[in-house]
Structure 1
Amino acid sequence: MIWRDDSIASQSAGQHFRNSNLSSFSEYLRVQAPELLPVLGKAHGAIEHRDVISSLPHGTTIVALTYSGGVLIAGDRRATQGNYIANRDIDKVQITDNHSATGIAGTAAIAVEFARLYAVELEHYEKLEGVQLSFNGKANRLSALVRGNLAAAMQGLVAVPLLVGYDIDDSNSETAGRIVSFDVAGGWHVESDGYQAVGSGSMFAKSSIKKLYKPGGDAWGALAVAVEALYDAAEDDSATGGPDLVRRVFPTAVRIDSGGAVRVPEADIERIAREVIEKRTEAARGESGSGADA
């Protein structure tokens, strides 16, 4: 004889076994323990006070560029709360698997949850299936997370990612670097221009990149353009932090090629940042001197 309680327990165990085959970690968690999911989109009551939203830390700006044989993503280090600087050394760029990385601008708490959950999502799939997701599959998974946050985004808790990666299925290794941009509803687009930026300083950063970017360049050249673009964005956007020589706080960057994703050493970024500042300082002195002569 099987008691009713045992029967229920057995059914529950069977259901658990079936659900454990879900290749999406977020869907698996939604079935097994929804209370552990971050509040990505299930708005439990409207946020009526806009000052509450404005008081939350926000992170900007992220830039990404492709180069011959790979792709690079970089971000400034500042997070703001309204007109206050909340954090000077936040890291907005995260490696998500061997051949991809994300940078997320917007509400810092949501952005961090996106990055963490997305990294686990990719790792969970690889463990179950034994292979990495295709690059389009990675974009679709991140799109689902962004779409899940739509209700919160409509209340002002917006986080918009950039996804970069190396497409291991591309037969041409020189053009395998990919940049994908997203809208708040989860729509995504593979950038064909070779560069993109998101965040409050993105307009200034993209204008800078447009003038400096050379398709088919090398990784060092891409890093130099990214650092200078963030410097330009910081000059015109108060929410974007420029290189801080006093505190030795510089942008962070990740480079991805056929060998995988690696963080760019801080020493390399500092070297380029100092060169940019020195070049701008000399230019300003030259303009000042010519004005005095006139």
Structure 2
Amino acid sequence: MSRELVHGPGGSSFTELLRAQAPHLLPGAAPGEPGPPGGVDLPHGTTIVALTCADGVVMAGDRRATMGNVIANRDMEKVFAADDYSVVGIAGTAGIAVELVRLLQVELEHYEKIEGTLLSLEGKANRLSAMIRGNLGNAFRGLSVLPVLAGFDLTGGTGRLFSYDLAGGCYEESAHHSIGSGAFFARGALKKLWRPALAQEEAVRTAVEALYDAADDDSGTGGPDLGRQIWPTCAVVSADGTRFVDAGTLEQVVTDLVAARRDNPGGAR
């Protein structure tokens, strides 16, 4: 890439560079024609939960994607590493959401290569906000995307969460948050289960249990599938970086949770 191109429109922002050179490749850049009456059925992803813990943040997502009243996919990934110190979870129109995440990943990698340093966590949150705002035309046509961003703030030495609205408004959440069709039920569970300074292991179990409660009341949220061995996707971000919890650990967490709920389906304490 030539120096003129690097320091031309957009500077260290890959999104702005793409907007100047090939705007048709950006999410939300499709012609603004109205869709057919009643809309169109496309796979939608739900549900994501995120919470702070003693040394960072934990984010988990169920694996189900729905298309109307049909299960479109049973093992979809909805939690992604944005870079070494942040993760993003997606809800909404799956195809556009995944494209948005890939663009964010390239954006952050591009910034690091040009500037020689990582973008701050607030900077990442703001970049994602601009991308969501760029998808507003699609949102009006029913192709909405609502992600949640979580990461470790290297400056402040703590985990932080950011939520969004359809217009790209960015809001920091203090302790926990959830998005997707099961968010209402997951949020209720998190209010009862979360407490300050949770250990990572406790936070992982809390996230999985909140998804379990969401799946209990929301048909769009997939519960743990012991028969197919499909477990939630769970990521932990700390000063050591981003890591995804391995399948063996998640299987044990789910098995213990199901056993504890056998005679107590509501999870009463």
**TM superposition score normalised by structure 2:** 0.94
RMSD: 1.7
Q: For 2:195, what is the secondary structure of its paired residue?
A: coil
Partner of 1:183: 165
Q: Does 1:220 align with 2:201?
A: yes
Deviation string 1:83-103 (CA, Å, 9 cap, x unpaired) is 000000000000011100100
Q: Residue 80 of structure 1: SS of its match in structure 2?
A: strand
Q: Is the 8 A contact 1:19 1:31 kept in 2?
A: no
Corresponding position of 1:137: 123
Deviation of residue 38 (structure 1)? 3.7
Letter in 2 for 1:151: G
Asked if residue 28 in structure 1 is aligned to residue 17 in structure 2, the reply is yes
Name the CA shift for 1:210/1:21 in 2 (closer, same or farther; >3 Å).
closer
User: Equivalents in 2 of 1:20, 1:153: separation in Å?
Assistant: 27
Return the offset for 1:161. 0.5
Greater mean alpha carbon deviation, residues 210-219 or residues 197-206: 210-219
Q: Which structure dedicates a bigger proportion of its chain to helix?
A: 1
**Partner Cα separation in structure 1 for residue 3 and residue 240 of structure 2:** 42
| Distance verdict in 2 for CA 1:23–1:16, change over 3 Å | closer
Between the aligned partners of 2:97 and 2:150, the Cα distance in structure 1 is 16
Q: Tell me the CA shift for residue 26 of structure 1.
A: 1.1
What is the distance in 2 between the residues matched to 1:68 and 1:18? 40
Among residues 73, 78, 94, which one is paired with 1:87 in the alignment?
A: 73
Sequence identity percentage = 49
Residue aligning to 1:96:
82
Tell me whether 1:231 sits opposite 2:212 in the alignment: yes
Spell out the pairing of 1:31-46 with structure 2 (5 A cutoff).
31-35=20-24, 37-46=25-34
Runs in 1 of length 4+ with deviation above 3 angstroms? 13-18, 41-44
Residues 73 and 93, structure 1, Cα contact 8 Å, conserved in 2: yes
Match of 2:64 among 46, 54, 78: 78
1:1-294 aligned at under 5 Å gives the runs 16=5, 18-19=7-8, 22-35=11-24, 37-52=25-40, 55-170=41-156, 173=157, 176-192=158-174, 194-283=175-264
Match in the other structure for 1:4: none
Q: Cα deviations across residues 179-203 of structure 1 (Å, max 9, x unaligned)?
A: 10000100111111x1000000000
Mapped partners of 1:18, 1:124: distance in 2: 12
- The answer on whether the counterparts of 1:153 and 1:159 sit within 8 Å (CA) in structure 2 is yes
Deviation per CA, 1:87-133, whole angstroms, max 9, x where unpaired? 00000000011100100100000110111000100000000000111
Residues 52-99 of structure 1 show CA distances to partners (whole Å, capped at 9, x for unaligned) of 1xx100000000010011101000000000000000000000001110
Segments of 5+ residues of structure 2 without an aligned counterpart are none
8 A contact 1:43–1:152 mirrored in 2: no
DSSP 3-state at the match of 1:190? strand
Identify which range, 14-23 or 243-252, moves more after superposition: 14-23
Partner of 1:292: none
Q: Which has the larger radius of gyration?
A: 1
Q: Which runs of 5+ in 1 are unaligned?
A: 1-12, 288-294
CA–CA separation in structure 1 for the residues paired with 2:13 and 2:135: 17
Shifted more, 24-33 versus 230-239: the winner is: 24-33
Amino acid at match of 1:40: G
Which deviations, in whole Å up to 9, do the C-alpha atoms of 1:117-174 show, x marking residues without a partner?
Answer: 001000000000001111111111000000000111011101101000000011xx3x
Aligned residue in 2 for 1:3? none
Count of residues in correspondence between the two structures: 265
Q: What is the distance in 2 between the residues matched to 1:106 and 1:201? A: 12
Shift of 1:214: 1.5
Using the TM superposition, name which of 63-72 and 264-273 deviates more.
264-273
User: Does the CA contact (< 8 Å) of 2:79 and 2:90 recur in 1?
Assistant: yes
1:19 is displaced (CA, Å) by: 2.3
- The whole-number CA distance in structure 2 between the counterparts of 1:64 and 1:29 is 31
TM-score, with length taken from structure 1: 0.86
SS in 2 for 1:249: coil
